[in-house]
Amino acid sequence: MPERIRLYPECHADTTLITYLVSDSQLIEHAAGINEVSKSLQTVKSDDTILIGIVDNDKHKPRYLREFETIEERDKVCFMHKPGSNQYLLIIDKAIETFLLWNALQVNLIITDYGFNTDVKQLGARLKSRAIETDPNYLRLLSDLHAQQAPGFITLERILNDLITT
């Protein structure tokens, strides 16, 4: 049974979300894009480590990630596994911005109350900044979505907890 876990979120907003949901931030290693996530999963070959990539649902997927098979898909989260390995993939909606907008809508949070634009492109541009990791409005939005039990947050947290505590 694997003794270690490594999580590879692909962008700063994803990294902040995963850091919010996972109590041990030392498990998390930021990867700069889907290709870096794929490379990280390919490079670490160890039966002692569970590897979890967290990516957006990009149109272009690296060849390696196409080998993963869907285990569960709900609440804008797709959970996948590479057969015969300790490698998993979490795909967040089309992108983190649509995931956040959908979840806010589900629990009646108004994203503009947090200083964010509802336009997907403008929101996406703001979320790509490294500064988002410490943005108090973003951290408050994540906290409120979690406290209001936004469905995507509950699903993502459950999957992560199952992998980390198993």
Per-residue pLDDT of the chain (166 residues; tens, 9 = 90+): 456 889 999 989 999 999 999 988 888 888 888 989 999 888 877 677 899 999 999 888 889 998 999 999 999 999 999 999 999 999 999 899 999 999 999 999 999 999 999 999 999 999 998 999 999 999 999 999 999 999 999 999 999 999 887 6
What DSSP state is assigned to residue 109? Answer: -
Cα R_g (the chain), whole angstroms? 15
CA 166 and chain centroid, separation: 19
What is the count of structural domains for the chain?
A: 1
The three-class DSSP label of residue 88 is strand
Query: What is the residue range of 92's domain?
Result: 4-165
Q: Are 7 and 28 in contact (CB under 8 A)?
A: yes
Counting Cβ atoms within 10 Å, is residue 32 exposed (0-12), middle (13-18) or buried (19+)? exposed
What distance in Å separates the CA atoms of residue 111 and residue 120, rounded to the nearest whole number? 12
Range 93-128 burial, b when 16+ CB lie within 10 A, else e: bbbbbbbbbbbbebeebebeebebeeeeeebbebbe
Backbone angles phi, psi at 61, to 5 degrees: -115, 130
